[in-house]
Amino acid sequence: MYQAFYGLKENPFRLSPDPSFMCMTALHREALAGLVYSACTRPGLTVLLGEAGTGKTTLLYALLGLLDKRRFVTAMCTNPTLTREEFYDILITKFGVDCSSSLKSRQLTALQNTLLRNREDGRPSVLIVDEAQRLSPELLEEIRLLLNMETPREKLLEIIVSGQPELGDILRRPELRQLKQRVSSVCRLKPLSQGEVKEYLYHRLRKAGLAQQTLFADAAIQMIYEYSQGIPRLINSLCDGALQIGFALQSPRITEAIIQEAAGDLELERIRSGEEPSPNGRRAGGAVAAKVSPIAGAPDKGQNGAGAAELRAPLESYAERQKSMGFFAHLMERLR
């Protein structure tokens, strides 16, 4: 609706997890490097943790793109609220296992034979489970047992589970200590810093076809950070609403007043530096409100070393990080 008015070729703030729109911050690069290393070396179980809306699913799709291009055999489960039978049906379907039996014993045998053939063909097998904090104890146990499929030298199946921070609490439960012992790596995503929010907007607008970067006023960008606290999903919802309002007003720039109106429509709470969150500590969209410094997550310096008063995105380092997908492709070739 507003794309032609603002000179955009597509919607820059859609909520779908499109890897081509992923803004490669230093933290995203570090997390993706950990996932790539795990997929290539197959140590067992890798965990990706992050608050709701921080971009975990987008990062997983970026990983899948890298793996598929290098002939990995992948299976991704995005709905973990399954029965054991449904879970094994997904494994058999996604990995192309030839097994018509409903018996778990025969399914496991067929699956192991398929994983062995994949290994002999130089095609590692990777299972990714998203929203893993919702896995039942029964499925967590099945994941632990799947990790027992191995040769004397390596695992036949690398498993990556992704979830919100409570997944870490779940894995620390005494009854899951055997599964916790199999965790070889934990990768983390955090909300964007104040400087990274401007970088994020710059990246998505550029990918959507906007050459000039004056659409959002600096004061409006700071307000976006204060309403979203750096959660990319909330940034997308807020900016999409702001562009709709700006189009309705025929405003060539997105101002503070427009951001404030869009935030009101979404019932977002604005948290400035030094302010306490609301008593219930919750924000629209499920993110947890918190008292923050001018740059989220650090008292004097922002995440990844950004200065506390710094708002302008470091475009040189941004451009280098956005070349990271080529770096990861090269890394995968070296690890294999």
pLDDT digits 0-9 by tens, 144-179: 999 999 988 889 999 999 999 999 999 999 999 999
Question: Vertex 178, ends 143 and 36: CA angle to 5°?
Answer: 55
| DSSP code for 216 | B
- More confident position, 186 or 327: 186
* The architecture CATH gives domain 192-319: Orthogonal Bundle (1.10)
Centroid of chain to Cα 256:
28
Concatenating the DSSP letter of every residue in 249-301 gives: HT-SSB-HHHHHHHHHHHTPPP--TTPPPPTT-B-GGGPBP----SSTT-SSB
pLDDT of residue 43: 82
CATH code reported for the domain at 26-191: 3.40.50.300
Q: Taking a C-beta distance cutoff of 8 angstroms, is the pair 59, 36 a contact?
A: no
Give the model's pLDDT for residue 100: 87
> With 80 as the cut, is the pLDDT of residue 134 above it?
yes
Domain ranges of the chain: 26-191, 192-319
Res. 306 pLDDT band, cuts 50 70 90: very low
**What secondary structure letter does DSSP report for 323?**
T
Which of 21-25, 54-58, 220-224, 285-289 is predicted least confidently?
285-289
In this prediction, residue 332 carries a pLDDT of: 60
Q: Is the pLDDT of residue 313 over 50?
A: no
Beta bridge partners of 48: 162, 187
**Higher-confidence position of 302 and 71:** 71
Mean pLDDT of the 42-68 span:
94
229 Rama sector, left if φ>0, alpha if ψ -120 to 50, beta otherwise: left
Res. 308: pLDDT tops 70? no
Query: Which residue type does 249 have?
Result: L
291 — pLDDT class (breaks 50, 70, 90): very low
Specify the range with the lowest mean pLDDT, choosing from 197-211, 224-238, 254-268. Answer: 197-211
Q: In the chain, which ranges are E strands? A: 45-50, 73-77, 125-129, 157-163, 183-189
Question: Would the pLDDT of 317 be above 70?
Answer: no
C-alpha to C-alpha distance for 99 and 125, rounded to whole angstroms: 18
Q: Report the pLDDT value the prediction gives residue 276, as an integer from 0 to 100.
A: 57
The residue that leads in pLDDT, 297 or 161, is 161
Neighbours of 306 (CB within 10 A): 22
Q: Could you tell me which residues are beta bridge partners of residue 161?
A: 47, 129
**Mean of all residue pLDDT scores within the chain:** 84
- Residue 321: what pLDDT? 57
- The pLDDT of residue 238: 98
The answer to whether residues 7 and 15 touch, using CB atoms and an 8 Å cutoff, is no
Q: Is the pTM of this model over 0.85?
A: no
Residue 151: C-alpha distances to residues 41, 154, 229 (Å): 14, 5, 46
pLDDT of residue 335: 58
- The reply to whether domains 26-191 and 192-319 share a CATH topology is no
d(CA 130, CA 111): 21
Q: Stretch 197-225: mean pLDDT, rounded?
A: 92
Backbone torsions φ then ψ of 240, nearest 5 degrees: -65, -45
Angstrom CA distances, 239 to 116, 196, 245, stand at 48, 15, 10
Residue 214 banded pLDDT, cuts 50, 70, 90: confident
Instruction: Indicate the residue type of 39.
Output: A
Give rounded-to-5 percent helix, strand, coil for the chain: 50, 10, 40
pLDDT score at 273? 67
User: Which pLDDT score, from 0 to 100, does residue 133 have?
Assistant: 97
DSSP 114-153: HHHHHHHTT--EEEEESSGGG--HHHHHHHHHHTT-B-SS
Choose among 66, 90, 88: nearest CA to 76.
90
Mean pLDDT over residues 232-243, rounded?
Answer: 97
- Say how far apart CA 93 and CA 109 lie, in whole Å: 15
- Which is nearest to 325 in space by CA: 109, 64, 97, 53? 64
